[in-house]
Amino acid sequence: MSNTISKMRSDIDGFLEYLVVERGASQNTVISYKCDLLQLLHFLNPGIQRKLDVAGWKNVSNKDITAFSKHMVVKEYAGSTRSRKLASIKSYMAYLHNEGYIDSDPSKNIPPPRKIRSLPKAISVLEVKNLIESTISSSNAVNNLRDFAMLHVAYAAGLRVSELIALKVQDVDLISGAVRCLGKGGKERIVPIHPVAINSIKNYLANSRPKLIKSRKEKTLFLSHQGNNLTRQGFWYILKDRANSIGIASKVSPHTLRHSFATHLIHGGAPLRHVQELLGHASITTTQIYTHLTDSFVRESYESAHPRAH
């Protein structure tokens, strides 16, 4: 190892000590910074050796860090990983500049990696059916009826988890077949739901909720076994348990039924504007992410059905 590289590693150690002493950084944070900065140094090593200069970090330019950023793209690092590593580098370069070790910060004008929004994951219509019907085999009739109705409503109305667990009894119109919910920013919307979902709610209200409720003052629709409103974690546990029982736990997240609701509507030909209203999206651009799923669905359907597609 050259004297230049040794000195640069020593500078990194100084920064790590600064993080602990001055910033109170945790051990995990320090380890993360160390790995990121040593990776940068390893990437820069051949170039620094060629420069035959003892200036160390002063030799590192904006172009060098940009090249490292592109290198991470080529190596297919996740966007979150690239963001973290660049954040580590920016913090380190700012430290070197503030301490007077380098004349200017070469990372100052390098933008963070553009975040690639992951497509929402949906399960098939059959998997939704099996997920909901998995509640029927439950030995606990009270929870069975609740889960059957709750999963029905989540899928039939495409509700966010926060909207689902916040529903009050009066938010469900059993006559017209609709639910009223408050979305982001307190924006109200009315979502129609099909008769099967309505009947599942009627059954739950008649035969399950009265056995769960502990106080007449409780207005929340779906109750926990303790008689109060379910939490996000409570719903997540129920969903994972049901999904695990039919072997699709790895495909399911708290937003799965909402994403599946939107995807299945668009696959069925529903106009994007209508889906936007049902989901409560403030902007159509948010809903448009589902068009990517539709394109993928059409291609998969074509390739599996067309005799010349193979």
Could you read off the pLDDT of 79-111 as tens digits, one per residue? 788 889 999 999 999 999 998 889 899 998 887
Q: Which DSSP string corresponds to 228-291?
A: SBPPHHHHHHHHHHHHHHTT-GGG--TTHHHHHHHHHHHHTT--HHHHHHHHT-SSHHHHTHHH
Q: Are 151 and 159 in contact, with CB atoms under 8 Å apart?
A: no
What's at 289, amino acid-wise? I
Beta strands in the chain (DSSP E): 172-173, 178-182, 188-192
Determine which one of 90, 180, 255, 267 is catalytic.
255
Q: pLDDT exceeding 90 applies to what percent of the chain?
A: 45
125-254 fold: hpI Integrase; Chain A (1.10.443)
pLDDT at position 255 is 85
What are the pLDDT digits (tens) for 239-289? 999 999 999 988 888 788 998 998 898 888 888 888 888 888 877 777 777
Q: pLDDT exceeding 70 applies to what percent of the chain?
A: 85
What are the pLDDT digits (tens) for 200-242? 999 999 999 999 999 989 999 999 989 998 988 899 999 999 9
Identify whether 160 is a catalytic site residue: yes
Integer Cα distance of 121 and 66 in angstroms: 33
Determine which one of 152, 160, 259, 264 is catalytic.
160
What's at 270, amino acid-wise? A
- The CA distances from residue 61 to 3, 34, 49, 169, in Å, are 20, 20, 15, 63
> Across residues 59-72, what is the average pLDDT?
89
Same fold flag, 3-98 and 125-254: no
Identify whether 152 is a catalytic site residue: no
Determine which one of 85, 146, 258, 259 is catalytic.
258
- The CA distances from residue 121 to 118, 125, 309, in Å, are 9, 13, 25
What are the pLDDT digits (tens) for 132-184? 999 986 567 899 999 999 999 999 999 999 999 999 999 999 999 999 998 87
Q: How confident is the model at residue 309 (pLDDT cuts 50, 70, 90)?
A: very low
pLDDT at position 282 is 77
3-98 fold: DNA polymerase; domain 1 (1.10.150)
pLDDT at position 73 is 86
- Token duo for residue 241: 């348990």
Residues in the chain: 310
Q: Which of 247, 234, 237, 297 is nearest to 130 (CA)?
A: 247
Q: Name the residue with higher pLDDT: 112 or 222.
A: 222
Strand ordering across the sheet containing 188-192? 172-173, 178-182, 188-192
Determine which one of 184, 219, 273, 292 is catalytic.
184
The burial of 263, by beta-carbon neighbours within 10 Å (0-12 exposed, 13-18 middle, 19 or more buried), is given as buried
Q: Name the residue with higher pLDDT: 112 or 30.
A: 30
pLDDT at position 46 is 67
> Across residues 56-70, what is the average pLDDT?
89
> Across residues 119-144, what is the average pLDDT?
85
pLDDT at position 94 is 92
Q: Which range, 188-197, 273-282, 283-292, 301-310, has the best average confidence (pLDDT)?
A: 188-197
Integer Cα distance of 247 and 185 in angstroms: 36
For strands 188-192 and 172-173, give the pairing.
unpaired
Identify whether 258 is a catalytic site residue: yes
Q: How confident is the model at residue 301 (pLDDT cuts 50, 70, 90)?
A: very low
pLDDT at 308 over 70: no
Q: How confident is the model at residue 293 (pLDDT cuts 50, 70, 90)?
A: low
Domain boundaries, the chain: 3-98, 125-254
The model carries a pTM of 0.59
Identify whether 184 is a catalytic site residue: yes
